[in-house]
């Protein structure tokens, strides 16, 4: 299963994009802004990553990206604001400036589409516009 993340715009506090499984699923997502791939304060680098279904003690069933350019435990998990992530990707059904909404619903729908897929790839694509 291939999941694509299209980064659409960035402010000083966040990056807003879309999570897409072509023909099957689409929602918004929130990441931190680009701060040089620094752990806990930056989004990950654009690229293609292997991923797996993961059960987090804190977030429950989610998706974990593997080998994210020296970063570990990069998850797609619930959350709404930049303070809810330390480099992870937060899904939402709607987006505002520096926020996504209905994250639990978006993650639940994403996980339903992903199902028990054994092979998952996540492709992160920069198509950014800068907003103030």
Q: What is the mean pLDDT of residues 89-107?
A: 97
For the chain, what is the mean pLDDT? Answer: 95
Structure pTM? 0.95
What is residue 128's predicted lDDT score, i.e. its pLDDT? Answer: 72
What is residue 131's predicted lDDT score, i.e. its pLDDT? Answer: 54
Q: Decide if pLDDT at 132 tops 80.
A: no
Encode pLDDT of 7-59 as tens digits. 999 999 999 999 999 999 999 999 999 999 999 999 999 999 999 999 999 99
Q: Decide if pLDDT at 129 tops 80.
A: no
Give strand ranges (E) for 11-119. Answer: 15-21, 25-31, 47-56, 60-65, 74-76, 90-92, 94-96, 99-101
| Structural contact between residues 85 and 72, judged by C-beta atoms closer than 8 angstroms | no
């Amino acid at each position: 299963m291939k999941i694509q993340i299209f980064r659409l715009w960035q402010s000083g506090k966040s990056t807003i994009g879309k999570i897409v499984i072509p023909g099957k699923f689409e929602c918004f997502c929130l990441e931190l802004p680009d701060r040089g791939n620094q752990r806990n304060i930056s989004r990950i680098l654009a690229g293609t990553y292997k991923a797996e279904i993961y059960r987090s003690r804190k977030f429950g069933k989610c998706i974990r990206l593997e080998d994210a350019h020296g970063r570990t435990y990069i998850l797609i998990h619930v959350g709404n604001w930049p303070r809810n992530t330390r480099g992870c990707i937060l899904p939402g059904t709607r987006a505002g400036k520096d926020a996504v909404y209905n994250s639990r619903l978006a993650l639940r729908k994403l996980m339903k589409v992903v199902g028990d897929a054994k092979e998952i790839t996540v492709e992160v694509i920069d198509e950014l516009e800068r907003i103030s």
